[in-house]
Amino acid sequence: MLDRIRLSDFRNHAATRLEGTGRFNLLIGANGAGKTNVLEALSLFAPGRGLRRAQLSDIAREGADEHASGGFAVGADLVSGVTPVRIGTAVRVDAPGRRIVQASGAPLPASRLAEWLSIGWLTPAMDRLFTDSAGNRRRFLDRMVLALDPVHATHSSRYDKALRERNRLMGGDARPDPQWLDALEREMAEAGAAIAAGRAATVARLSEELARVRDAPFARPSLAIEPAAPADAGELADLWRKGRPADRAAGRTLVGPHRDDLAVAMSGTGRAAAECSTGEQKAMLIAITLAHAGLAAGSRPLVLLLDEVAAHLDPVRRAALYERLAVTGAQVWMTGTEAEPFSSLPERPGVWRVTAGAAERLEQV
């Protein structure tokens, strides 16, 4: 689990410390106090831009003194063995656009954070996931793949870099060199096939896990990938080679893993999630999150960040949620405006009262 957490000049937190954490951890406070900011800080221990997908320049605390302006730091002890590992991420004042990642004081590429721990999150903004863009659902799926397979970050980085270069060539005035395109498309195909295979395997495992749990009081979704890019490198390369004229006309790459979408429907009825009620959508999202947590637990430390997740659940569903979370073995961080919704937690949590960017440890819920 994560312990001895430090936030410095992060959002509205000048210098916040959280120590003595447990399996369950609660951040209690009024809206705007800075609870979600703590979750966002922890989400930066995963590759990518965190649960808000914020620009680095937007994260540093406003009103910080001139020596700290533009920079921030987050550190924590990862306690998963005999000796804790100190992990940290920061932005220096003299390099505000570059995020630094370290483990035990040694530099670490951000993509390798997934080798140390798995992090997942559920926020109120994700309630719109099923009616939002395909890109957001694709990122949601890729976070789940990454938690199960850390190498997915490397494949994604390789693919995105090559895709940007191909799109640049497709959008240019000059006709690209066919041999250069062949080499570029082979690079894309190798990484793209791995991405497609990882997504397909994750959806298959999630579907099995969702089918296995039948007694939980949450809606059971069915999952699919559409249009599902081929998981064969040769087939992908052939698609891009044949599609060059259309891609040149469009100025971008029209097919590939970057066009995949996660299709979700209500199991049994087949009704698309986007057409279901907001309550049904929330229940399906929780069911997917729990199923994924069950798969992710065990291989690496698992941290779940659940922002206001209990606010709109009845007591029966809250109790079922907490029981399922306990089974995963994950360290769970939850936020709320009051403590009462968490009274049915199966074990005593660590609790902090968050007020105006400061956190005070409480002895009881």
Token pair of 208 as six digits? 């099995």
Mean pLDDT of all residues in 346-362: 95
Q: For the chain, what is the largest distance between any 2 Cα atoms, rounded to a whole number of angstroms? A: 68
Long-range contacts of 169-176 (CB under 8 A, 24+ apart): 170/244, 170/247, 170/248, 170/250, 170/251, 170/252, 170/253, 171/251, 171/252, 175/248
What is the pLDDT of the chain when averaged over all its residues? Answer: 92
C-beta separation of 335 from 305 below 8 A:
no
Decide if 274 contacts 131 (C-beta within 8 A): yes
Structural domains in the chain plus CATH codes: 1-117+300-365 (3.40.50.300), 127-299 (1.20.1050.90)
Describe the crossing of helices 152-170 and 134-148 by its angle, rounded to 10 degrees: 140
294: nearest Cα among 159, 118, 167: 118
Residue 364 is predicted with a pLDDT of 66
Closest CA to 142 of 130, 131, 154, 125: 154
Burial (CB count within 10 angstroms: exposed 0-12, middle 13-18, buried 19+), residue 87: buried
pLDDT at 20: 94
DSSP lists the bridge partners of residue 86 as: 77
Calculate mean pLDDT across residues 323-330.
91
- The two beta strands, 358-362 and 350-355, are antiparallel
Tell me the Ramachandran region of residue 357: left when phi exceeds 0, alpha when psi lies from -120 to 50, beta otherwise. left
pLDDT score, position 69: 62
d(CA 305, CA 107): 25
Helix (H) / strand (E) element for 224: namely strand 221-226
How sure is the predictor about 65, in pLDDT bands with cuts at 50, 70 and 90? low
Contact between 11 and 42 (Cβ < 8 Å): no
Q: Indicate the pLDDT class of residue 83, thresholds 50, 70 and 90.
A: confident
Whether pLDDT at 355 is above 80: yes
- Polymer length in residues for the chain: 365
User: In angstroms, rounded to a whole number, what is the distance separating the alpha carbons of residues 166 and 42?
Assistant: 35
Yes or no: say if 96 and 23 are a contact pair by the CB < 8 Å rule: no
* pLDDT given at position 143: 94
Is the per-residue pLDDT at 215 higher than 80?
no
Question: Tell me: the pLDDT tens digits for 151-164?
Answer: 999 999 999 999 99
Residue 340, SS3 per DSSP: helix
Mean pLDDT lowest for which of 33-37, 110-114, 131-135, 318-322? 110-114
- Alpha-carbon distance of 213 to 227, in angstroms, equals 27
- What are 231-241's pLDDT values in tens digits? 999 999 999 99
pLDDT in tens, 330-342: 999 999 999 999 9
d(CA 300, CA 112): 13
